[in-house]
A and B are shown apart, each in its own frame.
Chain A
Amino acid sequence: MSVRYDEELPIVLKGAGWSAEVMITSPARGLFGGPKQVHFALPVGRKVPATVAYTRGRTVSFDGEKSARWDDWFVKIYQCQSGDVDALRDYLHRQAVALQQANAAVPGRPRIPIEPPWAVTPVQIVRGSGEEDRAGDVATRLGAPVDAVVVADGPMRTLPLWFQDHPSNSGLYLLAVSPLLTQPPWDQWCPTPAIERLEHFASMAVGLDKLHALGWAHCDIRPDNVCGYLIPGAREYVLVDTDSGTPTSQPPPELPTPDFYLRRPRLSDGLRYDPGELRAQDRFGFALVMLTALAGRDCMERLLRIDDDHRPADSAPAVAEVLRQNWREPRWRSLIEVLAEPFGPVGPAGRGVEDEGPWAADWLSRLTQAMPGEAPEWSAPPGWVDPAEYARDIALFRTTLRQRPRSQFELQSEANDLLERQSQRVAARTAARYAALVLLGFLAVLLVIAFDVTGWGM
């Protein structure tokens, strides 16, 4: 029988007073690239290999409050070895419950777990075996009769063939279903701190503190793992890629964080992270996300780049210095000091970034308090001229320069050449105008004299 990749896999998500049927597209359609080999470092010290394929799902029916309906889903399909599936399911299951609890701590009206606002993207685990799974308030199952799945020689036509390499193997599959979100287009550089974005991190900060209080750490917080979403009247940021989360009391032997974003060098083999270091890594990542949002990606990467065996992100004064170069106006000094605090040995308000207890929400609140008031009167630097008189020349210069493809070095040289050429235009145009005016003056005097001498004026 040939595999039909246009067939969709139905799943059902269900909670108290609501249910949703979601149709999942085959990963073979390549919406998010090909499958990958991953390793889960489980808290028990066991490494579980899995193949993960990425795809999406769409809600086809929803029972419950209309505002709670989420239409598009991001789906990871894990395929494990037969001896690993229970351990991985248990791990992902506990993770999903912790994420639900973290999201429940975000202030707002009572809501179901798949309904925003969230701090971390909620994940629902679906068992490929067809049995029901229940994580916290959400029950999940494949949208096909259990018998059709678990009986190897039964009628398998209710499930698409792309879902399993063999009918008897469906139990080796686990699906992680989370809302499909988009990454925010972080600015490369923010000329002034984008302080208006601070309030959009409130849910994330509260949820991160709650996750830590529950004894979990995300372990891979970085700008690439933050997505944005819109809800009526608000825009929020949320942490994604939560399958890296781990209980802080049973730390894994290695962190999933890429080296570039690590707070401290990786531990040698055999050593384990202590809970404080996991919390500190999360807070370090959260601070990098805030810096990216406020100062831009270039600035954040500059802090992490090693130059002469020195990485600015390892010291609060070095971070503050980079930020001061970025934002030179004295009014940003207080904000810079607070922004740099998590990179120092002590941390915000004298509390270490490894400490237990709420941290992110306090830090966010201190950042908000450090925002300056109204901008002072601007004073023009030497050589500054009111651009209004030359608006057309400036527009022409900018338009011409933008039309030419170039590297940063070429841009500088091209800008200099074009600015000089435009200056020549202005000089020639002004010279012609003044020459004509003076000549007219001479002509007028000449005519007066001519009339006087010849008597034609009489």
Chain B
Amino acid sequence: MDWADVTFPGRKAMRAQVEQQYGRGQALDALEYRFSYWLTNGDATPEAVRRPVEGAVAGYFARAATIGKWWGIALGAGAGLSLWAFAAVVLLTARAVA
């Protein structure tokens, strides 16, 4: 399963929010040569290059995760409240029938 293609209520809005905070990768532009050096050399990249590049990439993921977290909480709360409402209806109906 590719999480990039998973759909759920509000997915479109969340995608837009991630796109907006992403800002067309200015942090990668600021890395200049370091980025392509890291890309080519991978694990053999010296620490002085690897740390800022991977930290900048992780920064994007962390911001995306923050957006995902709040959307997840909202979705979970919405689904939970719906579950409660459904359970209440079931319970009340059962009582009324009894």
Q: A: which residues have CB within 8 A of B?
A: 189, 191-192, 326, 375, 378, 380-381, 383-387, 389-390, 393-394, 397-398, 401-402, 408, 411-412, 415-416, 419-439, 441-443, 445-446, 450, 453
Contacts and interface: CB of A to CB of B under 8 A. Distances in A.
Contact of B68 (A412, A426, A438): A426
Contact of B76 (A378, A425, A434): A434
Nearest to A299: B33
Given A389-B62, A419-B57, A429-B68, 8 more contacts: A390-B61, A393-B61, A394-B58, A421-B4, A436-B72, A437-B76, A446-B83, A446-B87
Contacts of B6: 428, 432
Nearest to A328: B32
A408 to B, nearest CB: 7
A435 B61 contact: no
Interface string B7-34: 0100100110011001011011100011
9 contacts: A191-B45, A390-B61, A402-B39, A419-B22, A430-B65, A433-B72, A434-B76, A438-B72, A442-B79
Q: How large is the interface on B (under 10, 10 to 19, 20 to 34, 35 or more residues)?
A: 35 or more
A412 B25 CA distance: 9
B54 A423 contact: no
Given A375-B48, A429-B68, A450 B87 contact: yes
A451 to B, nearest CB: 12
Given A387-B57, A398-B42, A427 B68 contact: yes
B22 A420 contact: yes
Given A428-B11, A435-B73, A383 B25 contact: no
Contacts, number: 182
Contacts of B89: none
Given A387-B55, A434-B73, A439-B76, A428 B3 contact: yes
4 closest A-B pairs by beta carbon, nearest first, are: A442-B80, A438-B76, A434-B72, A430-B68
Given A390-B57, A402-B39, A428-B4, A383 B84 contact: no
Contact of A431 (B39, B57, B75, B87): B75
A383 B53 CA distance: 11
A326 B33 CA distance: 9
A436 B79 CA distance: 9
Contacts of B29: 412
A424 B25 contact: no
B49 A191 contact: yes
Given A420-B19, A430-B65, A443 B25 contact: no
A297 to B, nearest CB: 13
Contact of B71 (A375, A415, A416, A431): A431
A442 B25 contact: no
Contacts of B4: 421-422, 424-425, 428
Among A375, A433, A435, residue most surrounded by chain B Cβ atoms (within 10 Å): A435
B33 A427 contact: no
B37 A189 contact: yes
A430 B84 contact: no
Given A398-B42, A427-B18, A427-B68, A419 B28 contact: yes
Contacts of B18: 420, 423-424, 427
Given A387-B55, A431-B71, A423 B22 contact: yes
Contacts of B2: 425
B58 A442 contact: no
Contacts of B84: 442, 445-446
Contact of B59 (A383, A431, A438, A441): A383
Given A423-B22, A424-B15, A429-B68, A384 B52 contact: yes
A448 to B, nearest CB: 12
Contacts of A435: 8, 71-73, 75-76, 79
Nearest to A422: B61
A398 B37 CA distance: 12
Contacts of B81: 442
B83 A439 contact: yes
A437 B69 CA distance: 11
A381 B51 CA distance: 11
A438 B27 contact: no
Nearest to A375: B48
A230 to B, nearest CB: 21
B12 to A, nearest CB: 11
Given A384-B52, A385-B58, A431-B14, A438 B80 contact: yes
Contacts of B59: 383-385
A127 to B, nearest CB: 49
Contacts of B77: 438, 442
A441 B84 CA distance: 11
A439 B80 contact: yes
Contact of A442 (B27, B71, B76): B76
